[in-house]
């Protein structure tokens, strides 16, 4: 990975929420710290329980475990640095540190977009074609899907990061965000960034709009199938298995699309709060949305707690 030799800036200043009063920054620090700790505990618990309980060794729960891993990586790429900046006067980040943060942020972030689409397809097969579910969603296929998602998101992130940090940065070094995001970085470049913006838009179509279209296609077919179910209990169970995923998709895609597909430089402050939702709040909510509303996971959780209590005694 090579950088432009004409860049004179060696570090950037993350403005973050510095416009807020000191009192509000302290309140925000406490809230984000609590959310981050809850995120780590909730997602680690989900990973452990799904791993140790044989009854949860199914494609759906395997995808959930991978989602928890992604959420931990995703929020950890941003939260520790943001917490430090809220308490410190030194809010700088080095040129290479900014590039590194971008890679560790967008790789799991783009992977989550792809994984949510894979999970929608998993539900589509389970409800619309249950007789072929074990064949279509075999472990061989599930593993290949996850590897493909990780490789795709990593390669696309490396390409975008290389394009962005190959630009010249010779003017102001203040990033109007709490992490090294793409659009605020382009605002600081000293050369034409029109091709970068086109590249980002194409990237957004591939990792945001195309997976979202697959999710919509899956749920249109799922809804059509559910409406044909005569049993009220059958309809309730089918809707129950999809409601958690739909809630997560709405939270994540709604904020991500508003930031990366329809945003402008005049709405940076709005972008910050939208970014807080999808990279700080949503990773905390996902274990609750998916696991605590699921009867199988509740039973596994109670069994796990019971075993741990017995060992403690």
Give pLDDT tens digits for 54-71: 888 999 999 999 999 999
Residue 3 domain flag: no
The predicted-structure confidence for 68-112, as pLDDT tens digits, reads as follows 999 999 999 999 999 999 998 889 999 999 999 999 999 999 999
Any residues with CB less than 8 A from the CB of 4 and at least 6 apart, and which? 165, 166, 167, 168
- The arrangement of strands across the sheet holding 92-94 comes to 92-94, 11-14, 174-175
Higher pLDDT, 193 or 268: 193
**Proportion of the chain above pLDDT 70, given as a percent:** 93
Which string of b and e fits 167-176 if b means at least 16 CB within 10 Å? bbbeeebebb
Count of helices and strands (H, E) across the chain: 13, 3
List Cβ neighbours of 137 (8 Å cut-off, separation of 6 or more): 59, 122, 125, 126
- CA 268 – CA 146 distance, rounded (Å): 33
**Is 5 inside any structural domain?**
no
Q: Which two tokens stand for residue 108?
A: 């799991």
Token readout for 8 is 């004179």
> Is residue 175 situated within a structural domain?
yes
Residue 186 lies in a domain: yes
Q: Tell me if 56 is assigned to some domain.
A: yes
Rounded Cα–Cα distance for residues 33 and 80 (Å) = 9
Tell me how far apart the alpha carbons of residues 15 and 164 are, in angstroms, rounded to a whole number.
19
Task: Report yes or no: 174 and 18 within 8 Å, Cβ to Cβ.
Answer: no
| pLDDT band at residue 227 under the 50/70/90 scheme | confident
pLDDT at 5 over 50: no
Residue 155 lies in a domain: yes
Between CA 14 and CA 86 the distance in angstroms is: 10
* Mean confidence (pLDDT) of the chain: 87
d(CA 280, CA 291): 18
- DSSP secondary structure letter of residue 265: G
In CATH, what number is assigned to the domain containing residue 17?
Answer: 1.20.1070.10
| Stronger pLDDT, 246 or 148, i.e. the higher one | 148
Q: What is the pLDDT of residues 245-262, one digit of tens each?
A: 888 888 888 877 777 766
The predicted structure's pLDDT at residue 120: 93
Structure token digits, residue 51: 């791993």
* Cα→Cα distances 259→55, 72, 123, Å: 39, 21, 28
Kind and range of the H or E run holding 63:
helix 59-76
Class of residue 198 by CB neighbours under 10 A (exposed 0-12, middle 13-18, buried 19+): exposed
Number of domains in the chain: 1
- Give this prediction's pTM: 0.89
Whether 6 is in a domain gets the answer no
Q: What is the pLDDT of residue 171?
A: 74
pLDDT digits (tens, 9 = 90+) for 12-39: 999 888 888 889 999 999 999 999 999 9
Query: Which domain range does residue 144 map to?
Result: 11-312
pLDDT tens digits, one per residue of 106-145 = 999 999 999 999 999 999 999 889 899 999 999 999 999 9
Look at residue 1 and tell me if it is in a domain.
no
């Amino acid at each position: 990975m090579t950088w432009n030799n004409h860049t004179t800036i060696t570090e950037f200043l993350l403005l973050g929420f510095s416009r807020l009063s000191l009192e509000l920054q302290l309140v925000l620090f406490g809230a984000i710290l609590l959310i981050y700790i809850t995120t780590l505990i909730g997602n680690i618990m989900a990973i452990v329980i799904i791993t140790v309980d044989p009854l949860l060794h199914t494609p759906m729960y395997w995808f959930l475990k991978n989602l928890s891993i992604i959420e931990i990586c995703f929020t950890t790429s941003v939260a520790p640095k943001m917490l430090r900046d809220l308490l410190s006067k030194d809010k700088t980040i080095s040129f290479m540190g900014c590039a590194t943060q971008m890679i560790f942020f967008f790789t799991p972030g783009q992977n989550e977009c792809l994984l949510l689409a894979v999970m929608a397809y998993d539900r589509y097969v389970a409800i619309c074609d249950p007789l072929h579910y074990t064949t279509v969603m075999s472990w061989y296929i599930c593993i290949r899907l996850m590897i493909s998602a990780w490789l795709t998101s990593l390669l696309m992130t490396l390409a975008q990061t290389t394009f962005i940090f190959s630009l010249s940065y010779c003017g102001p070094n203040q990033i109007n965000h709490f992490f090294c995001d793409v659009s605020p970085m382009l605002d600081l470049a000293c050369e034409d960034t029109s091709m970068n913006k086109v590249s980002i838009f194409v990237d957004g179509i591939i990792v945001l709009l195309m997976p979202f279209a697959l999710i919509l296609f899956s749920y249109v077919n799922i809804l059509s199938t559910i409406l044909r179910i005569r049993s009220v209990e059958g309809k309730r169970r089918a809707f129950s298995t999809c409601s958690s995923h739909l809630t997560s998709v709405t939270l994540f895609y709604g904020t991500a699309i508003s930031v990366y597909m329809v945003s402008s430089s005049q709405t940076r402050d709005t972008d910050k709060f939208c970014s807080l939702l999808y990279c700080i709040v949503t990773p905390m909510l996902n274990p609750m949305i998916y696991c605590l509303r699921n009867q199988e996971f509740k039973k596994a959780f109670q069994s796990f707690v019971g075993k741990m209590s017995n060992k403690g005694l």
